[in-house]
Amino acid sequence: MTMRRSLERIVIRITSKMNLRGKIFFLYGAIIFIPTKLLGIVAGYLALQSFRDNYMVTIKEAMRQTVQNIEVRKQSYDVLATRTGTDGELVARLSRDYSNMFEQLNTVEYVDRSFVFTSQYLPGIDDFRIYHTNTMLVQDGRLLWKPKGRILQPGFTETDWFASASGDPSALTWGNVNKNKLVISHKIMSPSGNMLGLIYMLLDYKTVFGKLFDRPFSGSGELSIIDDNSTIIVSSDPQKIGLKLQATSLNDHWEEASLSEGLMIGGNLLMVRPIDSNWQVAALIQMDELESQSKTILYGIIAAILIFLLSSTFLIMTVLKNVVWRIRKLGARMYDVSQGQFDVSIRNTDKDELGELEVLFNSMSGRLGGLVEDITQANLKEREQSFKALQAQINPHFIYNSLSLLRWRALDLQDDAQLRTIDALTTFYRLALDNKINVTQIKGELDHVRAYLDIQELRYPGRVSIEWNIDQDLLDLYTIKLLLQPVVENCYLHGNITGKKGAVIRISALLEQDNVRFEVFDNGRGIKSETLEQIRLGKHTGGGGNGFGTANIRERLQLYFENKHAFTIESKENEWTAVTIVIPACAQTPQIRKVL
């Protein structure tokens, strides 16, 4: 208490002889100007440190993702070359002794038939060949070749390449050609360990790695791939491609960088990350260039703070009375807004900062109602995102790639049944796993149902007859995604349609004035009356907790069409079930209308 009174007396003594302007200026400097300046300096220093920490986190994550992308791409081409080079039938035919031209032509036809599409499996494959050393086998000039002195690329002959790849201890090797092409070589070995030939795969450098190495780290760094022979085979700097690591400045600090998260070298950050096959990815990032932008922003903020302080010092001394009165008026109007009155405004005749604030207040009060509506719309979108989150639990690309691999194997085996199954699954999952849409054209939904029925027909051949009654005029109209397929699926899961003699499923889609009427009828085992009543009331959870698929359908129909739709289920136990869905005829994609 004594110290407080002493401070009060000192302040009063200093300001007692000052006029009101001087007192306000003194208080403003002591309370705002000086503390703000000091805090700005401290905050600027801390912000710069924070920028650097954030850069490091961002750079490490970018490096991790880049290494992962490189590894995935390399593995894709490695797998393709390895599978071709270790093909059992190819090995057997290249090691065989041939007694007549017919046997040789048979091998040529097998190679062309089996590997003609290999270059199309992955992007960027400019040339694909199979070189062999069997003196009894012809060279057809399409896929089968014998190494001779022909030019593969300028300054790069077949014999040079064949000798280099044959002498390499690794079965699979990568190399450069004129800094524009990459070559993958894979040995074809007999069971006894003798080399029968080589796989030659010529890759376009820009297609395979171009996007990853085009201005890495926003143009503030370099990115290189070093193979197991310490050769730079890929780099964002074309001049380094093909050089040995020892011939570059990276070699001086290579060991230290390999053992750490990152090594600072004269304002540059060197990061080294290993990938498979003893390859390594090196990134040299110019930290000074990255930080220059942050420093510019920081200096701009400091300059703005100083300008604001100087301007406010002048304004507070010249317009004090006017400011206080107008702030009070503004406070009264803001109180009105806090009470829910959004139609208030302030008359504005001045063109100063407070005048702008008054204009902004008038604009704010007029837009608050719109902001409330925006919040409502955000809640609507939240529910839509929940549906997308459920669909995103499966990685569509993994399934598509897996199906593509299975289809390739089925083609190789000439298994038509497998091909039909895989094509039906691909069509089915193309819509089911498309996380970007919640609505689709009716023809797309019907194609999805057909794909599902094709799959069931392959499982239960000849057991169920499918009847279609489709109005062709409604195919280009829109409906919500996965509307009919769950209903048709219930015919199999709950209707036991495959266990009934003379089983039939009738699917109709008819245009009735301004509505579209869907109906799915089956003569399965039907639904018990008490269960049917629970389903209609939305209380039945069904086998496996899926509610016969009706709960989700009802919810999404209400979400998109509110009360402008109809969803009915009729059934007679042990005889039949009919599901009818009526929605508005939508020439444009329907939007979410209601939060459930």
d(CA 312, CA 299): 20
Q: What angle do CA 135, 150, 167 make, to 5 degrees?
A: 65
Q: How many Cα atoms within 13 Å fall on the side-chain side of residue 218?
A: 10
Q: Please write the tens of the pLDDT for every residue from 513-541.
A: 899 999 999 999 999 888 888 887 766 55
Write the pLDDT tens digit of every residue in 257-292: 777 777 877 778 888 888 877 888 888 887 776 666
Task: Give Cα 401 distance to the centre of its chain.
Answer: 15
* Closest among 486, 545, 544 to 520, alpha carbons compared: 486
Let me know: does 286 contact 220? Beta carbons within 8 Å: yes
Query: DSSP secondary structure string, 382-412?
Result: HHHHHHHHHHTTS-HHHHHHHHHHHHHHHHH
Mean pLDDT of 196-202: 93
- Residue from 203, 200, 199 nearest 74 by CA: 203
Give the H/E segment covering residue 94: helix 88-94
Q: What per-residue string of b and e applies to 262-271 under the rule 16 or more CB within 10 Å gives b?
A: bbebeebbbb
pLDDT at 359 over 80: no
Of 448, 401, 406, give the one whose Cα is nearest residue 427: 448
CA–CA distances in Å: residue 22 to residues 309, 311, 324: 16, 16, 18
The percent helix, strand, coil of the chain (3-state, each to 5) is 55, 20, 25
Whole-number mean pLDDT of the chain? 80
Q: What is the pLDDT at residue 195?
A: 93
Are 265 and 282 in contact by the 8 Å Cβ rule? The answer is: no
Q: How far apart are CA 503 and CA 222, in angstroms?
A: 67
pLDDT computed for residue 393 by the predictor: 46
Ranges 175-179, 261-265, 374-378, 497-501: which has the least confidence: 374-378
Tokens found for residue 102: 């017919």
| CA distances, 455 to each of 129, 434, 450 (Å) | 38, 19, 9
Q: Three-state DSSP class for 49?
A: helix
Instruction: Map residue 214 onto helix, strand or coil.
Output: coil
Q: Which residue has the higher pLDDT, 219 or 19?
A: 219
Residue 583 CA: distances (Å) to CA of 284, 323, 514, 593: 59, 60, 9, 14
pLDDT at 434 over 70: no
Mean pLDDT of 484-494: 90
Please give the pLDDT value at position 547: 43
Sequence-distant (≥ 6) Cβ neighbours of residue 464 within 8 angstroms: 456, 457, 497, 498, 503, 504, 505
Q: Tell me if residue 124 falls in helix, strand or coil.
A: coil
End-to-end CA distance of the chain: 61
Question: Which of 285-294, 446-455, 564-573 is predicted least confidently?
Answer: 285-294
CA–centroid distance for 61 within its chain: 16
Q: Report the alpha-carbon distance of residue 67 to residue 225 in Å, rounded.
A: 10
Most confident of 298-312, 366-380, 554-568: 554-568
pLDDT band at 391 (very low <50, low <70, confident <90, very high): low
- How many whole angstroms separate alpha carbon 379 and alpha carbon 444? 29
DSSP class per residue in 154-177: TTEEHHHHHHHHHHSSSSEEEEEE
Q: How far apart are CA 429 and CA 276, in angstroms?
A: 33
43 has pLDDT over 90: no
Q: What is the 3-state secondary structure (H, E, C) of 312-370?
A: HHHHHHHCHHHHHHHHHHHHHHHHHHHCCCCCCCCCCCCCCHHHHHHHHHHHHHHHHHH
CA dist list (Å): 278 to 222, 265, 273, 448 = 20, 25, 10, 46
For residue 433, the model assigns a pLDDT of: 62
Contact between residue 365 and residue 342 where contact means Cβ atoms under 8 Å apart: yes
Higher-confidence residue of 375 and 181: namely 181
The residue type of 106 is: N
pLDDT tens for residues 319-333? 556 666 667 776 776
Residue 21 has a pLDDT of: 62
Using a pLDDT cut of 90, give the percent of the chain over it: 22
Q: Which of 73, 161, 90, 177 is nearest to 126 (CA)?
A: 177
Q: Which two tokens stand for residue 457?
A: 């027909």
Amino acid making up residue 156: F
Q: At residue 137, what are phi and psi to the nearest 5 degrees?
A: -115, 140
Distance CA 413, CA 215 (A): 44
**pLDDT at 132 > cutoff 70:** yes
Helix (H) or strand (E) holding 81: helix 34-85
Whole-angstrom distance, CA of residue 305 vs CA of residue 308: 5
For residue 350, name the pLDDT band (cuts at 50, 70, 90). low
- Backbone phi and psi for residue 154, each to the nearest 5 degrees, phi listed first: -50, 125
At 227 the pLDDT is: 84
Strand, coil or helix: 137: coil
